[in-house]
Amino acid sequence: MATRLEAPRWPARLDLLQSGTGLALGLFMWVHMFFVSSILLGKDAMWTVARFFEGYYFFGRPLYWLVSMLVAVIFTLFVVHAALALRKFPASYRQYRIYREHMQGMKHEDTTLWYWQVVTGFALFFMASVHLYIMMTRPDRIGPFESADRVWSDLMWPLYLVMLFAVEFHGGIGLYRLALKWGWFAGPDALATRRKLRTFKWALTAFFLVLGIATLLAYIKIGIEHAPNYGEHYVPTFLQGSAP
């Protein structure tokens, strides 16, 4: 009987799956931020984007289950990614203390970044689940008034504000670590590459934080103005006056 001498392949496969799901979620978040920030271009722009995902322009009516399905796919990626990340969490308070002492002694930026990735990832377990569940079960309530009512009158803004910082730091650090791990954009000088990637990472995080905060403020403003008519659906200016 042949003896197996090779190292088990599962840890590497699981690592690849964690990187793959992380990359997909990171790229999704960039696209998501652009779509959500369409409100900065006006209510009609956001209405148009929301209807697009419901297949309105292909089928002539909104198919909300299309949005629910998209959310279910993202939710699945999120759960798989989080389950795989659990392997990397400190398994006991003792392990956590050892890591903290190590981190404080080393004062190495990448080691500290990893710590913050774990903390923000842990917070996202809870915060993103709330958001994804609402998006999946109430796809009919995505729109300029509908979203603004949720942000302001349904008090989602505190969650969104904290989640915005958590997801931007988590995703930024994650994509930076992926680039280092798999050697993307690697140049002849490893230290120079690392420095460049880090600058790029902070620039991206700053950009998405500014965009996210501006977007959140726009929904808050509309939410405050629309509070007396809470629940009313938005009708775009180019359809006002025509039959529904």
* H-helix segments, the chain: 10-36, 43-53, 56-59, 64-85, 93-106, 109-137, 144-152, 157-181, 190-226
Query: Per CB under 6 A, which region of 13-21, 159-167, 175-183, 187-195 contacts ligand HEM?
Result: 159-167
Q: Which of 167, 147, 163, 165 is nearest to 221 (CA)?
A: 147
β strands within 53-198, DSSP E:
none
**What is the Cα–Cα distance from 95 to 175, expressed in whole angstroms?**
25
Residue 174 found at the interface with ligand HEM (CB under 6 A): no
- Taking the complex as a whole, the smallest distance from the CB of residue 182 to ligand HEM amounts, in Å, to 23
Residue 222 found at the interface with ligand HEM (CB under 6 A): no
Which CB sits closer to ligand HEM, 63 or 70?
A: 70
Residues 6+ positions from 136 with CB-CB distance below 8 Å:
68, 71, 72, 75
- Taking the complex as a whole, the smallest distance from the CB of residue 90 to ligand HEM amounts, in Å, to 22
Given candidates 17, 63, 66, 70, which one binds ligand HEM under the rule CB under 6 A? 70
Which CB sits closer to ligand HEM, 84 or 164?
A: 164
Which CB sits closer to ligand HEM, 147 or 205?
A: 147
Quickly count: other Cβ atoms within 10 Å of residue 59's Cβ.
10
Residues near ligand HEM (CB under 6 A) = 32, 36, 70-71, 74, 78, 124, 128, 131-132, 135, 142, 147, 150-151, 156, 160, 163-164, 167, 212, 215-216
